[in-house]
Chains A and B, each alone.
Chain A
Amino acid sequence: MYNFEFEKPATIADAVAALGAEDAQALGGGQTLLPTMKQRLAMPTKLVSLSGIGEMQGVCSNNDGSLSIGGATTHATVAAEAAAQYPALADLASHIGDPAVRNRGTIGGSLANNDPAACYPAAALGSGATIVTNAREIAADDYFQGLFTTALEEGEIITGVRFPVPEAANYQKFLQPASRFALVGVFVAKFADGVRVAVTGASEDGVFRWSEAEQALSASFSPEAVNGLQVDPANMMGDIHGTKEYRAHLIGVLTKRAVAAAS
C-alpha cells in the first residue's frame, strides 16, 4: 500500500481541520478501508483516525425516546449497549461480519461507505434515522444516494446517528457466507404512523425502501399482507451468488419473516 500521514485527533473540530488537507480520508475502524488501500483502490495522502474522539463514542437514550449512537461506536458496542432499548438494531449489529470485525468496524464508517450489501444502511433507512454530521443533520431518506454514494460532502464526518425506536422491528439477513455481508437483507420497522421496509444487498442502486410492502403492512401488519407483492427483478443485482430474480424473490420471503419475527 502507498504510504500516508496518520493523525488521531481528540476532538471533532481537530478532525475536521485535519480532513481539510488534499486527499485526506477519515478512518473509522478500517475494516473496509484497509483492505481497499491494500489493493490500492484508495490512495489517501493522510488518514484521520476518528477512534480517539470521545464525544463520538457510545450509545445513549434521548428524552424523546430515540437512541443516539456516536459515529465511532463499534458494532460490538452497539450490539451490547442498544440491546435493551432497540433489540432489532442490536441484533443486526451482532451479526455484521465476524467478532473481530465487530470489535473494530464502526456505524459511522459503515454508513459513510454505504456498501450496497451492508447491514447498517437498512437499519438507518428502515428506522427513518437521522445522520448527524459535524455540519448538519441529514434524514436517512435523503442520505443514501446509490452504490457507495451518500449525501456527505468532502471532509464531512458522521459524528452520530439518531434512531427513532419503533414499536416493533426486525432485521432478516440472508447471509452470503463467504463475505458475511447480506446476499439480501430486509429491515422492517412498525411505527405508530406506519411501517417502513428497507432492503439491502439486492438493488443495483443500493439500499431502498419497498413502498408497496410498506403500504400493505401499514394497513395490516401481518406476513400475509405481503402476499402477491413482487419487487421488479429488473433493477436487482445479479451475480454468481444469486440472480436478479432470486434476489427479488428473497425480498418477499425475508420481509414476511421479519414481520413474523417482529409482531
Chain B
Amino acid sequence: MGKQIITLTVNGEKHEVAAEPRELLVHTLRETLKLTGPHVGCETSHCGACTVDIDGKSVKSCTMFAAQADGAEITTIEGIATPDGMHVLQEMFREHHGLQCGFCTPGMITRAYRLLQENPNPTEEEVRFGIAGNLCRCTGYQNIVKAILAAAAELNASKEAAQ
C-alpha cells in the first residue's frame, strides 16, 4: 500500500511521481505537479471543474486514481494556451463574458477544447449536450455556449483561410 512510481506526460512534459494507490489524479496534478488549473469542486464527479484531457478524451480527474493514469498523456488548462498567446476558446470566453466567478472555467474550457475536436461545427444543442458534465453556477450557460460557438466559428474560419 506504499507509494508507487507512475509516469505522466502533462502538457508535453514527462514526470515521474510517487503516489499512493488512493491518490486522486486531481490531487497529483495540483499538489505534486503544482498545476492548480484543474479545480476540486464537488469531488463527487458531478461538477466537472476538475476536467482534464487524457489520451484525447475528457475525464474528470477527481474520479480517477493517479495510478489509473500511469503512462497517459494529459492536457490541463495550463497546456491549452500557445506560446503566441491565449487559445481561441480562452479569447472567446473573455470576449463573450463566458465566466463570472471563474471557478468552472478551466474545466469548461478543457472540455470545450475536446468537444470542438470531436465536433468542429456543433449546433447550440450539441454544445449544451457536450458540456452537460460541467456545471456553472453563475452564468446560466448563455455566454459559455456563445463563447464556444464563437470559438468554433473562429477556428473554422482560420482553417479555411489556411487552405
Contact = CB atoms under 8 A, between A and B. Distances in A.
B122 interface: no
Contacts of B79: none
A2 B1 CA distance: 10
Given A5-B21, A104-B59, A98 B48 contact: yes
A30 B44 CA distance: 12
B132 interface: yes
B133 A100 contact: yes
A38 interface: yes
Nearest to B107: A100
A103 B59 contact: yes
Interface in B4-60: 4, 20-22, 24, 43-46, 48, 51, 57-60
A103 B21 contact: no
Given A49-B68, A104-B59, A2 B22 contact: yes
B44 A76 contact: no
A148 interface: no
B130 A99 contact: yes
Contacts of B134: 98
Q: Which of A38, A51, A97 has its CB near the most chain B CB atoms (within 10 A)?
A: A38
Contacts, number: 74
A4 B21 contact: yes
Which of under 10, 10 to 19, 20 to 34, or 35 or more describes the interface residues of A? 20 to 34
Contact of A4 (B1, B57, B130): B1
Contacts of A27: 68
Given A6-B65, A104-B64, A38 B1 contact: no
Interface string A2-23: 1111101000000000000000
B98 to A, nearest CB: 18
Contact of A30 (B1, B46, B68): B68
A54 interface: no
Nearest to B1: A3
Interface string A28-52: 0011001101100000000101010
Given A30-B68, A31-B63, A99 B21 contact: no
Q: In which size bucket is the chain B interface?
A: 20 to 34
Contacts of B115: 99
A101 B133 contact: yes
Interface in B55-89: 57-60, 63-65, 67-68, 70
Given A4-B1, A4-B21, A31-B45, A76 B65 contact: no
B18 to A, nearest CB: 13
A135 to B, nearest CB: 26
A1 interface: yes
B39 to A, nearest CB: 14
B133 A98 contact: yes
A107 to B, nearest CB: 17
Given A34-B45, A47-B65, 13 more contacts: A2-B22, A3-B20, A4-B21, A4-B22, A8-B67, A27-B68, A35-B63, A76-B57, A98-B48, A98-B133, A100-B48, A103-B57, A104-B64
Interface of B: 1, 4, 20-22, 24, 43-46, 48, 51, 57-60, 63-65, 67-68, 70, 111, 115, 130, 132-134
- Smallest CB-CB A-B distances: 10 pairs: A98-B133, A6-B21, A103-B57, A98-B132, A100-B60, A6-B67, A100-B133, A100-B58, A3-B1, A3-B22
